[in-house]
């Protein structure tokens, strides 16, 4: 089954509006003419609209880094799915480990966010992954299973078509320690098998599973060569046009 590779740049809490516009202009020129790969960037909320305007007419998609599940109201500091849609987002990242770690996200709140995003027609990049402690205790698969079951609870086959999964081992995020292609592939295969049990062979074969955790131009090819790795969620290396465009052009490396 051919799945279109999907590379997303998660800018996290980086880039002012001016810096975001500058980066996206560089990205557009570095990526012109590229085919056979889907690309999206996830700037902070404050830059979404400006980046959307800059991206008009380009094939680079726009993603937000989080959202809240209510439509509107007294939820100070939160942003609704409709608001993201209106500023031009196609995707939203949900359940990133930094949200789970620092902002109290649980499988249940991740599930509520995913459902709200889908209701507004946003596609979801659903992040899962184990900590170093969980890996060392041999709990990786148990944890991944729990995060999948909790995060996707209540979603049907149709909704799964708008989900991308990002496997991001927490110990590899921002640490420079990448999972080896074999370590990542082992978990990606497990995720696909779990989806086959929960849904169907068709859904499990269609869904794209990105790897995230210190992806660089140096290691992307080895990861992308694995049969169940369909893309990357890139943090640090997405903040510079040069490294991000090299990752996107992994086939040419």
Binding site for ligand PEP (CB under 6 A): 10, 168, 173-174, 212-215, 233-237
Contacts of residue 172, defined as CB under 8 A and 6 or more positions apart, other chains included, come to 178, 179, 212, 213, 214
Catalytic residue of the set 105, 168, 185, 188: 168
Contacts of residue 164, defined as CB under 8 A and 6 or more positions apart, other chains included, come to 6, 91, 123, 124, 125, 126, 207, 208, 209, 210, 231
Question: CB-wise, 203 or 234, nearer to ligand PEP?
Answer: 234
What the block records as the tokens of 57 is 């007419």
Residue 220 CA to residue 32 CA, distance in Å, equals 20
168 catalytically annotated = yes
Neighbouring CB atoms inside 10 A of 105's CB total 19
Question: CB-wise, 151 or 235, nearer to ligand PEP?
Answer: 235
Question: CB-wise, 162 or 216, nearer to ligand PEP?
Answer: 216
Tell me the angle at which helices 17-30 and 48-55 cross, rounded to the nearest 10 degrees. Answer: 30
- Nearest C-alpha neighbor of 65 from the set 103, 99, 93: 93
42 burial (CB, 10 Å; 0-12 / 13-18 / 19+) is: buried
Least distance to ligand PEP, CB of residue 6, Å:
13
Catalytic residue of the set 54, 96, 105, 188: 96
Question: CB-wise, 100 or 192, nearer to ligand PEP?
Answer: 100
Tell me the angle at which helices 17-30 and 241-248 cross, rounded to the nearest 10 degrees. Answer: 40
Which positions are catalytic? Answer: 96, 168
């Amino acid at each position: 089954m051919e799945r279109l590779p999907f590379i997303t740049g998660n800018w996290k809490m980086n880039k002012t509006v001016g810096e975001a516009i500058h980066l996206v202009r560089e990205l557009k020129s570095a990526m012109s003419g590229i085919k056979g790969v889907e690309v999206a960037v996830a700037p902070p909320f404050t830059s979404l609209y400006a980046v959307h305007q800059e991206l008009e007419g380009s094939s680079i998609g726009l993603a937000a880094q989080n959202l809240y599940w209510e439509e509107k109201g007294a939820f100070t500091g939160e942003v609704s799915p409709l608001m993201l849609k209106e500023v031009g987002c196609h995707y939203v990242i949900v359940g990133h480990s930094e949200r789970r770690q620092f902002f109290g996200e649980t499988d249940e709140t991740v599930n509520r966010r995913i459902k709200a995003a889908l209701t507004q027609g946003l596609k979801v990049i659903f992040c899962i992954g184990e900590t170093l402690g969980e890996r060392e205790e041999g709990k990786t698969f148990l944890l991944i299973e729990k995060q999948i079951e909790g995060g996707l609870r209540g979603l049907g086959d149709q909704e799964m078509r708008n989900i991308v999964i990002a496997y991001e081992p927490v110990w590899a995020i921002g640490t420079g320690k990448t999972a080896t292609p074999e370590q990542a592939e082992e978990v990606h295969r497990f995720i696909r098998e779990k989806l086959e049990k929960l849904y169907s062979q068709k859904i499990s074969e269609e869904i794209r599973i990105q790897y995230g955790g210190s992806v660089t131009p140096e290691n992307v090819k080895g990861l992308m060569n694995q049969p169940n790795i369909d893309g990357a969620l890139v943090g640090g290396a997405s903040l510079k046009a040069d490294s991000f465009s090299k990752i996107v052009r992994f086939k040419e490396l």
